[in-house]
């Protein structure tokens, strides 16, 4: 996904993706994706689409946690 954005955006985007991936709950991860979408949709729509198009599949692992 980071290959779809300018180098100047990559560091910040990487940090934001860590927030999504490292979220303690599904709700927190979904909120992170929403924030990511709002933050990057105008500048990097291809990257946002890459994250959001398979949102449910991406978050499936939360279904197997406690």
**What is this structure's pTM?**
0.86
Closest CA to 33 of 56, 58, 52, 49: 52
Give the tens place of pLDDT for each residue, 17-56: 999 999 999 999 999 999 999 999 999 999 999 999 989 9
> For the CA atoms of 48, 50, 56, 58, what is the dihedral angle to 10 degrees?
-110
Mean of pLDDT over the chain: 92
Q: How confident is the model at residue 13 (pLDDT cuts 50, 70, 90)?
A: very high
């Amino acid at each position: 996904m980071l290959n779809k954005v300018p180098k100047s955006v990559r560091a910040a985007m990487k940090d934001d993706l860590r927030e999504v991936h490292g979220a303690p709950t599904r709700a927190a991860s979904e909120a992170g994706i929403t924030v990511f979408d709002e933050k990057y949709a105008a500048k990097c729509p291809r990257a946002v689409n890459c994250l959001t198009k398979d949102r449910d599949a991406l978050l499936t692992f939360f279904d197997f946690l406690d």
